[in-house]
Amino acid sequence: MCRRNTSGGTILEPVSVDKPASDSSDEVLAARAVAGDASAFETIVERYQGRVFRLACRLTSETDAPDILQETFLQVHRHLPSFRGESQFGTWLYRIATNAALMHRRASARRPSEPLDHFLPRFDERGRHAATPAELQVVSRADELLDRQFLAGKARDVIARMPDIYRDAFVLRDLEEMSTADVARALDIEPAAVRQRVHRARLMLRGYLSDLVGVKS
């Protein structure tokens, strides 16, 4: 189906496969789509549409997500012949979706963002956490303590209000669970910068959750 080239990448070759498209690997589907098999490409779309939609919602908004979804699969189809298997197909497609979302956001009117620094942890004069262990611990149960719909709305809202540099790193690393190395490549920054941004986002969002459950920590 796929042949490894000498540099370690995969050369996709059109092949005839008897298995139904839905059972095939991404790489086989990609090869069939390149060869002009429309149903193979439609299977790729079905396989990834939910994840791309979710990513687009998190990086932009539910209003913008449908456009990003279409743009992503248009770009995937356009660039499929150049996919060489140097990364996993899903990673490659995700990178295209991330770019589509970031490009879309840049082209849109600038949304207001907030520093959210007031949600960072507080310390006393000796450098100890100002909050008690019970107050610090309660955030871990925020999803048990808060109404699900209320939490969903607040979570989407606060992520949308974060400065872009923190939002992008947090969404890709922590919500989409990409590796730090993949996030660094997608955002064109160093892995250390990804860690620094994700860390600050986690601190702010942790403090925000704490505030939501009624504790200042």
Partner 1 sequence: MKEVACISGVELLMDYLEGVLPPDLRAALEAHVAGCERCAAFVASYRETPRILRDATASTLPDDIEASLKAFVQRFLKDSRPR
**Do residues 166 and 205 lie in contact, with contact meaning Cβ atoms separated by under 8 Å?**
no
> Using CB atoms within 10 A of its CB, is residue 186 exposed (0-12), middle (13-18) or buried (19+)?
buried
CB nearer partner 1, residue 10 or residue 201? 201
CB nearer partner 1, residue 144 or residue 188? 144
Binding to partner 1 by CB under 8 A, coded x per residue (else -) over 131-160, reads xxxx-xxxxx-xx----x--xx-xxx--x-
Q: Is 36 in the site for partner 1 (CB under 8 A)?
A: yes
**Do residues 118 and 45 lie in contact, with contact meaning Cβ atoms separated by under 8 Å?**
no
186 Cβ partners below 8 Å, 6+ apart?
A: 94, 95, 98, 99, 172, 178
Region near partner 1 per CB under 8 A, out of 4-12, 13-21, 52-60, 87-95 = 52-60
CB of 153 to partner 1, least distance (A): 9
CB nearer partner 1, residue 62 or residue 117? 62
Residue 28 CA from chain centroid, whole number: 25
Q: Is 43 in the site for partner 1 (CB under 8 A)?
A: no
Q: Is 126 in the site for partner 1 (CB under 8 A)?
A: yes
CB nearer partner 1, residue 18 or residue 144? 144
Dihedrals φ, ψ of 88, to 5°?
-65, 150
Alpha-carbon gap, residue 37 to 78, rounded angstroms:
14
CB nearer partner 1, residue 4 or residue 129? 129
Tokens of 187: 């955002």
Q: Is 163 in the site for partner 1 (CB under 8 A)?
A: no
Residue type, position 14, single letter: P
Stretch 4-23 residues interacting with partner 1 (CB under 8 A): none
Alpha-carbon gap, residue 177 to 181, rounded angstroms:
11
**Do residues 89 and 26 lie in contact, with contact meaning Cβ atoms separated by under 8 Å?**
yes
Q: Is 64 in the site for partner 1 (CB under 8 A)?
A: no
Task: Report the interface residues with partner 1, using CB under 8 A.
Answer: 36, 38, 41-42, 45, 49-50, 53-54, 57-58, 62, 65-66, 69-70, 73-74, 77, 121, 123, 126-129, 131-134, 136-140, 142-143, 148, 151-152, 154-156, 159, 170, 174-175, 177, 180, 195-196, 198-199, 202-203, 205-206, 209-210, 217
